[in-house]
Structure 1
């Protein structure tokens, strides 16, 4: 019999450590029985109904075990019978019915509940976030932009904060445009979904600002705005000088400003102030 046990169940360990893992008791399903049985021969309890599942503990010969329901699994020839039935114990693991003395009537185990779907995670920032949430949601998109285009993450984050008012401007909250990206000749470009007119402030060299109407890009998703921002800086010749300073975010934004990104004469100062205040430099991707 011992030879059969070795062949069909497991190669027994020389000794079972006194500190074996304790199982968490699982509640029996509503239609389960609660039956005490004894096993004939030493065997392993497992996480599933087959010998290839992980071993949870050793059940000793003549040990009493509480079982609750049955499943169909690996066919085994044991010390009591040949069967494909496995019994689920009150601890949630399984023993082969081929080693169970007696033959109590057990209900079929209920199938496991499907896993809960993962919580929805916004793909980028939205217009309903706190400042902290906005920053956390923007970091992955800004870092990916740096990997793709070399635009420093700190610059992208500071510009997004400044241009969108932490995501709360109408342009960003309604149309996912976090950088004030405009349409030219009503052409939205490669990443935008369309164009929409918004009121905006334009300033002259002396700092005098007036309200006007301009056409801005709209995006299906906020991450598209981040992609478009990096691509725009990388592809336009007027920003080329900035890419001599990809490891110097302060000078990078100064060159972008000189290239005509914004008409506000204080634009560089405002972006650098945000990078400094929130230590956005810490998010720059090394390399």
Structure 2
């Protein structure tokens, strides 16, 4: 019994000694890297190169300790810890995004960084494509014939839709739901969508030039020119219908993009007022039918057409805007504040004039920035 007990004890001692030896002598891989911890909601994918398009080599769980050899610059990633283009090279030679990694020590930069993987073309396709997901707070995003907001609208895509991208070009900067960027993504049909509204893996630059951006039909007015032209009509609308001039001018700026929209540039319609059953009222001079695309709540888009009022001048459009608010009963509460511009537009917005939750803030911001209150005739 004693002999047997000694054998068991000796075996246990050997196991403990082996464990102690492992703890006392870290592996070469561990010694070569900086200690870090994964901070992720579920699992972090380990990739072959510093890109979300790269092959997945494995996964790491939240709280797992890793050894990072060095860091490289790769695809920008928005993670739990930070938003960054830094990727950490592991001792295996694979990569994880630093957006999900916490480390107390500094990580040195790597040398000889591999290029991020490109998505391969499907068999039979003529060009590689990357799937992108559309994100739009407004519900839809324009797909254009050229990489610019001046490019003609070819169609619209709904929020959440998947689009196939081939490469990117640089164009005018756009502030969108996802980011502010000058990147425009070329679709597989040769059309363009602003990357400000797209979530996708990294794209390669296009090797063929983009079509020239069409020049505007007429030079767009400067803000000072637009305001100067708007004041007479806005003040006339106030005298006839009681809408504060500062409100009318600010709404026109916001809704027509300083007069750059097609409705305002072609038809002098600065507020998007439509014809009703072919009737254009007593101030407009006609109707112009436009083909448009609308999307339902389920994200299904369909082609339709709408008739918008046309006007002889900006002043006529502004007067009709005043009349439109005056004759629609739901805006009646606003007319208790015809000498308080901010309260007036607040009540117009509350009555359902616009679905944008920031509409009131945007309008009053324009009024304050450009001191439009000075044109309110009772002051």
TM-score between both structures, scaled by the size of structure 2: 0.39
Residue 190 of structure 1 is matched in structure 2 by 282
SS at match of 1:180: coil
- Could you list the runs of 5+ residues in structure 1 that have no partner in the other structure? 1-125
- Hey, what's the Cα distance between the residues in 2 that align with 1:199 and 1:233? 26
Residue 239 of structure 1 is matched in structure 2 by 331
Change over 3 Å in CA distance of 1:198–1:269 after alignment to 2: farther
* Structure whose residues are more often strand by fraction: 2
CA contact (8 A) 1:127 1:168 kept: no
Change over 3 Å in CA distance of 1:182–1:263 after alignment to 2: farther
Say which of 222, 240, 265 aligns to 1:130: 222
- List per-residue Cα deviations over 1:24-62 (Å, max 9, x = no partner): xxxxxxxxxxxxxxxxxxxxxxxxxxxxxxxxxxxxxxx
Aligned runs of 1:70-89 on 2, under 5 Å?
none
Say which of 240, 250, 254 aligns to 1:158: 250
The question of 1:226 aligning with 2:308 is answered: no
- Hey, what's the Cα distance between the residues in 2 that align with 1:271 and 1:234? 19
- Hey, what's the Cα distance between the residues in 2 that align with 1:277 and 1:203? 34
SS at match of 2:342: helix
The question of 1:265 aligning with 2:357 is answered: yes
Change over 3 Å in CA distance of 1:199–1:252 after alignment to 2: farther
Change over 3 Å in CA distance of 1:183–1:258 after alignment to 2: farther
SS at match of 1:264: coil
The question of 1:284 aligning with 2:360 is answered: no
Change over 3 Å in CA distance of 1:149–1:170 after alignment to 2: same
- Hey, what's the Cα distance between the residues in 2 that align with 1:260 and 1:225? 21
SS at match of 1:178: coil
- Could you list the runs of 5+ residues in structure 2 that have no partner in the other structure? 1-217
- Hey, what's the Cα distance between the residues in 1 that align with 2:375 and 2:265? 24
Residue 235 of structure 2 is matched in structure 1 by 143
CA contact (8 A) 2:246 2:341 kept: yes
- Hey, what's the Cα distance between the residues in 2 that align with 1:215 and 1:135? 27
C-alpha deviation, 1:259, in angstroms: 2.4
C-alpha deviation, 1:260, in angstroms: 2.6
SS at match of 1:195: strand
Change over 3 Å in CA distance of 1:249–1:164 after alignment to 2: same
- Hey, what's the Cα distance between the residues in 1 that align with 2:373 and 2:264? 23
The question of 1:175 aligning with 2:250 is answered: no
Alignment length, in residue pairs?
A: 160
C-alpha deviation, 1:159, in angstroms: 0.6
- Hey, what's the Cα distance between the residues in 2 that align with 1:215 and 1:147? 28
CA contact (8 A) 1:127 1:173 kept: no
C-alpha deviation, 1:127, in angstroms: 7.0
**Bigger radius of gyration:** 1
C-alpha deviation, 1:184, in angstroms: 1.8
Aligned runs of 1:38-117 on 2, under 5 Å?
none
| Superposition CA RMSD, Å | 2.8
- Hey, what's the Cα distance between the residues in 2 that align with 1:264 and 1:136? 27
TM-score between both structures, scaled by the size of structure 1: 0.50
SS at match of 2:239: helix
